[in-house]
Amino acid sequence: MPHNTVAVVGAAETTELGVIPNLSQLGLHADAAINAMADCGLKPKDIDGIACAANETPVNLAHYLGITPTWIDGTSVGGCSFMIHVRHAAAAIESGLAKTILITHGESGKSRIGNPARAVHPQSLNGQFEQPFGPMGPPSMFTIPVLRYMKTYGVTEEQIAQVAVVQREWAAKNPRATFRTPITTADVLSSRMIAYPFRLLMCCLVTDGGGALILTSAERAKDFPTKPVYILGTGESAETPLVSQMEDFTSSRAFRVAGPTAFKEAGIAHKDVDHLMIYDAFAHLPIYGLEDLGFLPKGEAAAYIAGRNTAPGGPLPLNTNGGGLSYMHSGMYGMYALQESVRQMRGTAAAQIPDAKISVCHGVGGMFAASGTIIFSNQAP
Amino acid sequence: MATPGRALPQPTPETQFFWDGTKANQLLLQRCDECSKVYFPPRPFCPVCASRNVSVTKASGKGVLYSYVIHHRPVPGFTPPYAIAVVELAEGPRMMTNIVECEQTPQALVLDMPVEVVFEPQTDTITLPFFRPASTQSAKG
């Protein structure tokens, strides 16, 4: 049964994106939250539910923003936490636990003000069975399965580079994107090697920013000044904190659970999708996502992207804000993907897809550790 | 690759046997006595059927290079470029490791090439399991 009894009525990013030296991480959360409340004409007293992910807590945000919640959610499973917050918030509103829920994100990923570096504890599973072998953060871990994928399906470095090229084309249309200058496959393949086969331009940005969403019932949504964006379907899952222990290096189990769960709940088919966001911390993620969500058979997504099917003018517009590769990426990108889906459904995106009615927004957490999928529609239930 | 500064594991009660094993030059896995699943990393129950009836079993030390990256950025204890690899053991489980006694290049690091475990002491208590190209074509027998 579709979830379309709940809608997004408020949505905003931080006033600025990029390098923001004048706000702490908590301040970025608040800046986005205040912008989202202003977007839909609400005050803190109107909010009765609050969700956010590490390194803040819903307690911190309730206090800082002056909110008295009847529902809180601190789910923190990496960059898809916000998709999962939306899922939990929709269920909470449907079941009457809260009426108006604020989901916030702020991250001082570049300036690192009020954002402590997260160390891997040497007694953790990661600390014992991965960290001793020299990984240093996502660029050297998220990428480890990819050579196996490339060998299995005969995918080339040139095809992976094309993901970055196409997303830069989308970013070029977006005044808020960090990187807007067009790039070529040769540019990507001559950029600095980070973790073979991944080069700099196949890796996401590191920036500061934030975003916030406000959800309420579809019935109440009619009374708001903004165009309601309905939640049709949702999914979530988790696999492993250890990238070395993924069941299948060519596919994410968490994707294969979260995505189809959302499609089934929404009651839609892939051909119904007008707009797609797939969290792209690295250039291989849209490839895995297109296949694991069922848009394409295994092994075909790289050629599909290289064939310009997801580029401007193509049949399946993907990562239309420029994505984590070119728009912005503060560390946990999922909130920015959700914001672009909402803009596309409102008809206010910088690179607006004409007449788009259904948007799928798919997130990853950790290194293929977790996943969340949200399907939006701008059609009233 | 026993360079000072590398992050080292701290065993927990559930993993102590594994690190005692590497110190004694043995690669120890666990097998479920109920469903026969061989698994890694260590835990005192089967991740498939939740049985607590599990036994420690010595791995052959043979496997194949399953996937890797060659890291080009500085990390304490490492000299870039160096490969961060995943090996698939003959017994089935995969584990992260480094590949030693081998050029750290795409040409030398060929997926599915046979590898075998070697043990390199890091401290008095911690010995890490690394892998090198196998001396004979016996992996995945």
Q: Searching chain A, which residue's CA lies closest to the CA of residue B78?
A: A134
Q: CB within 8 A of A229, min separation 6: which ones?
A: A7, A8, A11, A341, A342, A345, A346, A376, A377, A378
Whether residue B63 is predicted with pLDDT greater than 90 in this model: the reply is: yes
Determine the distance in angstroms separating the CA of B31 from the nearest CA of chain A, rounded to an integer: 17
Q: In sequence order, what DSSP letters do the residues of A140-194 get, joined into one string? A: GTTTTTHHHHHHHHT--HHHHHHHHHHHHHHHTT-TT-S--S---HHHHHHSPEE
Determine the distance in angstroms separating the CA of B14 from the nearest CA of chain A, rounded to an integer: 11
Record: contact B96-A130, CB cut-off 8 A: yes
Residues paired with residue B70 on neighbouring β-strands, in sequence order: A196, B83
Q: CB within 8 A of A352, min separation 6: which ones?
A: A343, A344
Q: Is residue B60 part of a domain?
A: yes
Cis ω before A44 (30° cut-off from 0): no
Residues paired with residue B120 on neighbouring β-strands, in sequence order: B128
> Within an 8 Å CB–CB cutoff, is residue A195 touching chain B?
yes
- Domains of chain A in start order, with CATH, are 6-114+205-376 (3.40.47.10)
Whether residue B137 is predicted with pLDDT greater than 70 in this model: the reply is: no
Question: In residues, how long is chain B?
Answer: 141
Six-digit token string for A294: 């069922």
Record: contact B67-A147, CB cut-off 8 A: yes
Q: What is the mean pLDDT of each run of 10 residues along chain A (381 residues)?
A: 83 97 97 98 98 96 98 98 98 97 97 89 97 96 98 98 98 97 98 98 97 98 97 98 98 98 97 98 98 98 98 98 97 98 98 98 98 97 80
pLDDT at res. A3: 66
Distance CA B11, CA A122 (A): 8
Record: contact B81-A196, CB cut-off 8 A: yes
Confidence of residue B135 (pLDDT cuts 50, 70, 90): confident
Distance CA A371, CA A364 (A): 4
Record: contact B69-A145, CB cut-off 8 A: no
Distance CA A261, CA A266 (A): 9
Q: Is residue B9 part of a domain?
A: no
Mutation target for A interface from B39, B71, B115: give the one with most A CBs within 10 A.
Answer: B71
Mean pLDDT value of segment B4-11: 91
Distance CA B119, CA B25 (A): 6
Determine the distance in angstroms separating the CA of A183 from the nearest CA of chain B, rounded to an integer: 23
Domain with B73 in it: 16-133
Q: Is residue B21 part of a domain?
A: yes
Whether residue B114 is predicted with pLDDT greater than 80 in this model: the reply is: yes
Record: contact A140-B7, CB cut-off 8 A: no
pLDDT at res. A117: 81
Q: Is residue B2 part of a domain?
A: no
Q: Is residue B6 part of a domain?
A: no
Q: Is residue B4 part of a domain?
A: no
DSSP state of A96: T
The gap from C-alpha B74 to its chain's centroid, in whole angstroms, comes to 22
Whether residue B138 is predicted with pLDDT greater than 80 in this model: the reply is: no
Q: Is residue B8 part of a domain?
A: no
Mean pLDDT value of segment B58-80: 97
Six-digit token string for A248: 């299948």
pLDDT at res. B139: 45
Give me chain B's average pLDDT, please: 94
In chain B, the number of structural domains is 1
pLDDT at res. A377: 98
Record: contact B71-A135, CB cut-off 8 A: yes
Whether residue B83 is predicted with pLDDT greater than 70 in this model: the reply is: yes
Chain A, window 240-259: residues with a beta carbon less than 8 angstroms from a chain B beta carbon: 242, 244-245, 249
Q: Which residue has the tokens 């390098």?
A: A19
- For B28-38, write each residue's pLDDT tens digit: 999 999 999 99
Q: Is residue B7 part of a domain?
A: no
Interface contacts (A, B; CB < 8 Å): 110
State the ipTM, two decimals. 0.95
Confidence of residue B4 (pLDDT cuts 50, 70, 90): low
Cβ neighbour number for residue B123 with a 10 Å cutoff: 11
Whether residue B1 is predicted with pLDDT greater than 60 in this model: the reply is: no
Residue ranges of chain B whose CB lies within 8 Å of a chain A CB? 6-12, 15, 41, 66-73, 75, 77-78, 81-82, 84-86, 94-98, 106, 111-112, 122, 128
